[in-house]
Structure 1
Amino acid sequence: MGSREREAERDAILRALAPVVDGIAATFGPVCEAVLHDYRRPEKSVVAVAGSVTGRTVGGAMSEIGLRVLARGDEARGELNYVTRTGTGRRVKSSTMVLRDSTGAVFGALCVNVDVTEVDRVQGLLAALAGTAAAGPSQAPVTTFGDDIDSVVDALLDEHLRRQDQTWPGLDRTRRLALFRGLDERGVFAVRRAVEQVAARLGISRASAYHYLAQARATPTDSSEGAPP
């Protein structure tokens, strides 16, 4: 199959799934959102959306979850019934189902997000009424959902620095490479201009950022040579 035929096939699959997005959201009501993504355009991956759990709109960017799937390429698998939280604290149960063309290549995803915040509250109330000890819901990771890909990249960068409990100048070379490797594994550098954005946030030159990225990809373990300050 030629590239033109493959792109036409992918476009046809997305068109066929657009009504499914509306059907899913209509079936499950206002607590449900369905989002159709075209991974060929990470910065504007949302091609259809119904519902408003995460506030996505057509033309919006993929989330951290989408970037993670994109980074795995054709090895990506669907992720079903995982729980996350929005930046406003809403607890969301989600499923991401990857889309493949007839060659098996991953090119998009159909995502379903269900707001289960009130379900958790009702469970806690019922447990209290029954007199049983109720452990609170586990703290799900916060996921940045937004139409701006820059905010998603910033959130991932902040998460990595926070995990290191350091600013960029405070990281040694091993941890600097680990930061770039971690961002790369999360799909950040699949986004256009991401290297420039990360360089600006870290206060380093674009050339230094590209050097760190190349070193991180070339050396999965620590190496003591050749990184710029």
Structure 2
Amino acid sequence: MGSREAERDAILRALAPVVDGIAATFGPVCEVVLHDYRRPERSVVAVAGSVTGRTVGGAMSEIGLRVLARGDDARDELNYVTRTGAGRLVKSSTMVLRDSAGAVFGALCVNVDVTEMDRVRDLLGALAGPATEPPVTTTFGDDIDSVVEALLDAHLRSQDQTWAGLDRARRLAFFRGLDERGVFAVRRAVEQVAARLGISRASAYNYLAQARATTTDTPEGATP
């Protein structure tokens, strides 16, 4: 285990100058962030540029949590577009980092602020056809609690009932959805979710355990 951790540390050290090089190449509209997924609450180990306002020691975003939840099955996510809470349009790529055994342990992320380019495109394309779907707003921040809170808010809004109005199956689906987005990879997330829903910590852990058991026990392609 020690040699594996040393290898991962060496990969991160080797990529640190790459972070600066990419950001310098593309200029002030570009931000490059290096993540160590072994510590989700402070995953940012190197950053150059300032598009999302990340700093070293900051937490991973919703996107990083999603990648983390997929474990070693995670794949690179390239050229996706999100909108920051401040309204900036960002085009990003997230490239997962693997050790020699193929285990995912981090990511190199490139974020490019395309807000002004998007405005020009809108002007030029006003007569070209219908608008495309708006990008999803994504929470970027150094505080992991704010990221979890944003995911929880979005998940609650997607329900057509309050938590109290959900039956058992939908409550389990609710916890399963949060788990698939990597929420429970964060320390204290269960307590945070429980407090927000107005249930006990024991109840939250119980719902999570049942949701995971249902996922494990359901054959592929079947509906639980």
Residue 207 of structure 2 aligns with an amino acid whose one-letter code is Y
Structure 2: any 5+ residue segments left out of the alignment? none
Distance 2:131 2:43 in 1: 35
Q: Is the 8 A contact 1:168 1:202 kept in 2?
A: yes
Alignment TM-score, normalising by the size of structure 2:
0.93
Distance 2:120 2:66 in 1: 32
Distance 2:162 2:96 in 1: 35
Residues 180 and 127 of structure 1, relative CA distance in 2, 3 Å threshold: closer
Residue 155 of structure 1 aligns with an amino acid whose one-letter code is A
Q: Which residue of 1 aligns with 2:177?
A: 182
Distance 1:24 1:91 in 2: 20
Q: Is the 8 A contact 1:34 1:111 kept in 2?
A: yes
Residue 162 of structure 1 aligns with an amino acid whose one-letter code is R
Q: Which of residues 19, 25, 34 in structure 1 aligns to 2:32?
A: 34
Deviation at 1:169, TM superposition (A): 1.2
Structure 1: any 5+ residue segments left out of the alignment? 224-229
Residue 173 of structure 1 aligns with an amino acid whose one-letter code is R
Residue 110 of structure 1 aligns with an amino acid whose one-letter code is L
Distance 2:136 2:73 in 1: 24
Q: Which residue of 2 aligns with 1:226?
A: none
Q: Which residue of 1 aligns with 2:194?
A: 199
Q: Which residue of 1 aligns with 2:165?
A: 170
Q: Is the 8 A contact 1:120 1:137 kept in 2?
A: no
Q: Which residue of 1 aligns with 2:82?
A: 84
Distance 1:191 1:183 in 2: 11
Q: Which residue of 2 aligns with 1:61?
A: 59
Match status 1:93 vs 2:95 = no
Residue 159 of structure 2 aligns with an amino acid whose one-letter code is Q
Residue 195 of structure 2 aligns with an amino acid whose one-letter code is A
Distance 2:155 2:167 in 1: 14
Match status 1:72 vs 2:67 = no
Distance 1:95 1:143 in 2: 14
Secondary structure at the aligned position of 1:198 is classed as helix
Matches for 1:116-195 after TM superposition, within 5 Å = 116-127=114-125, 132-133=127-128, 135-195=130-190
Identity %: 84
Q: Provide the aligned length of Structure 1 versus Structure 2.
A: 218
Q: Which residue of 1 aligns with 2:208?
A: 213
